[in-house]
Chains A and B, each alone.
Chain A
């Protein structure tokens, strides 16, 4: 394919680095490897009801056409930009105005004014997304929301990890590993709680950084209070890719139990590349798009006791666990999660 000038346009909160940035930066490198001229543009944005319309308008006004053959957008409101060949890889809505509207997670009152604001955002989003040359999502969850709220069809394009080849499988150990930021909504506390109820010598390892020291303190307190230090380990620091691969290579399985996420989550995929199955929960959102019950992982109720049962089952039925780990790796291929496929679609 002839090299193109490709702009990767996304919004960001300064100094917050997570999945929303990885998808952009990994794609940048993979496009460069294939000879394209890529420029990544992060524009600051805040999902603040009082200024969100203005911010959306600002994105709309940006002059990108002359610079790029193609513009790929990610986090909202970057999909608002205008470009003759705009490709939206839509990773979530501004959820307060969509599925979380009028829920306990929405701190806006339901008034004529806020409803008018919501309707304006819906209309603007729908128009901007409908004008895209291609519309992709990172999960079925997001595609379903596009259909429900915007009446638009988005093609699911699952994001691969940066270096799948960096992960490997060694001897299966006795640890359930969870490598991701330690945050309330990632619910590592349920994993620690679960360790109170396990019947087997299965162990737990949590790796990652906590942005809120109170949450980390809570995890440590639970461990101390219930004498779990022998069997639950917390590595609170930035985990390098090598360390991550290392932890997974000798684990028994992985756990990833976020609350209502929009995608299967990179941790699930990383575990699969290391031939490890993932334990998740029924209200995790997009994770069950990857994890199939009993085939390449376990999906249980978001309760410590249920998680403990799952851990014990993985420990006792080691052969079954290994089979599920291998099936997880196969699942990556089934879903076509690889950079060649992703880039072929994005540049189509």
Chain B
């Protein structure tokens, strides 16, 4: 199992690759994870990173499963790519003006090199799977039709659901792109609604900044912060107890938090620009989808709390949707090893 690494950073992708290896082992295979250090700044560094991956060699395995750029550039005859996401600064984030790669002949050359190397790897892989967001970009930028493969929950049994405790949960990494600040502002438009923010902060300044924001908005008495990495059991307990889960990142591929909420029978509040999560959260069906503005988000939170039996219905629909997709590890392994 090949992927990349930024030393000491552990997020969803790292959890997935770790779980994939464990699942392969439990299914009787010999599997090992190797994650190659990856740096993307300054932008010229990206060329070196590709040279590194292309220059490495690996033997003694029947199959390689590669998850991320540039690890899938390590040559192997029997490689399956499960693309969690592209190096988006060279693709959609560049188009959206949110890339660190500059708009110049030099930036264009770097982008062209990444896209050419990607194209080559994607076309020569034995099979190409992708998360829903990555699959859309493969279609758009490479005219490639990958099989969509969701990352299964590793511990669905923890998300058994439970009595609704009358609060909105915002779980996961706490950072600028995740926009927990927007949810705090939204609380000012949702009288009486309580919010719990739980997850590891991206930087040391984040906890203080969010607390100050809550005070400025006059909602500090209705927000509970738990800014740290939560063990799975603790996270699941919060999900099981909330009325609804709010997940409003700017354009992320990750759908894990929404899947956990659905597994627990809880609806999801998200926003129209949140990305991959919109594939499974539909407005009025399995949750509420609104514009990424404090007013609309506040209204959505207030609606969930005001009509908790309706929230439960939306959550139940989410759970059925998840069951219908049958997103399980045995299914995923069958495809990756097929």
Contact = CB atoms under 8 A, between A and B. Distances in A.
B39 A44 contact: no
Interface string A37-52: 1010111111010010
A191 to B, nearest CB: 28
Given A61-B48, A68-B7, 17 more contacts: A5-B7, A5-B8, A12-B34, A13-B59, A13-B60, A14-B34, A14-B60, A15-B61, A41-B7, A44-B56, A44-B74, A46-B57, A46-B58, A46-B59, A58-B53, A58-B55, A61-B51
A67 B8 CA distance: 8
A55 interface: yes
B32 interface: yes
Contacts of A16: 60
Nearest to B35: A41
Contact of B39 (A55, A57, A66): A66
Contact of A14 (B32, B51, B53, B55): B32
A265 interface: no
Q: Which 10 A-B pairs have the closest CB atoms?
A: A44-B58, A58-B55, A67-B7, A54-B55, A63-B39, A46-B57, A58-B52, A39-B7, A14-B32, A46-B59
A67 B57 contact: no
Most buried by B among A44, A45, A46, A51: A44
Most buried by B among A13, A14, A37, A66: A14
A50 to B, nearest CB: 9
18 contacts: A13-B60, A14-B58, A14-B59, A15-B31, A16-B60, A37-B8, A39-B7, A41-B35, A41-B36, A44-B34, A46-B59, A51-B55, A55-B56, A58-B53, A63-B45, A64-B37, A66-B39, A67-B8
B30 interface: yes
Interface in A165-180: none
Q: Which bucket holds chain A's interface residue count?
A: 20 to 34
A16 B59 CA distance: 11
B8 A45 contact: no
A45 B37 contact: no
Contact of A58 (B7, B35, B56, B60): B56
B interface majority secondary structure = loop
B70 to A, nearest CB: 11
B48 A41 contact: no
Contacts of A55: 55-57
B37 A58 contact: no
Contacts of B39: 63, 66
A42 B37 contact: no
B35 A48 contact: no
A125 to B, nearest CB: 17
Interface in B41-67: 45, 48, 51-53, 55-61
A15 B30 CA distance: 7
B5 interface: yes
Contacts of B45: 63
B52 A15 contact: no
Contacts of A51: 55, 57
Contacts of B61: 14-15
A7 B8 CA distance: 10
Interface of A: 5, 7, 12-16, 37, 39, 41-46, 48, 51, 54-55, 57-58, 61-64, 66-68
A44 to B, nearest CB: 4
Nearest to A42: B34
Most buried by A among B31, B34, B36, B57: B57
A309 B98 CA distance: 77
B57 A63 contact: no
Interface string B10-47: 00000000000000000000111011110100000100
Given A58-B51, A63-B39, A45 B57 contact: yes
Contacts of A7: 7
Contacts of B48: 61, 63
Contacts of B60: 13-16
Contacts of A64: 7, 37
A289 to B, nearest CB: 30
A94 to B, nearest CB: 13
Contacts of A43: 34, 36, 56
B113 to A, nearest CB: 15
Contacts of A66: 39
A43 B33 CA distance: 10
A58 B55 CA distance: 6
Nearest to A67: B7
Contacts of A46: 57-59
B8 A44 contact: no
A63 B61 CA distance: 27
